[in-house]
Amino acid sequence: MSVVDTLRDHVRDHKQGMFVDLVFAIAWVTAVSVIFDLLSAPQWAYYLTLASGVVAYYGFFWSLELAMEQQ
pLDDT tens-place values along the chain, 71 residues long = 788 888 888 778 877 788 888 899 999 999 999 999 999 889 999 999 999 999 999 998 899 889 888 88
All residues at 6 or more sequence positions from 21 whose CB lies less than 8 Å from its CB, including other chains:
57
pLDDT value of position 34:
94
Asked if 49 and 36 count as a contact pair (C-beta separation under 8 A), the reply is yes
pTM: 0.75
Residue 42 CB-half CA count within 13 A: 3
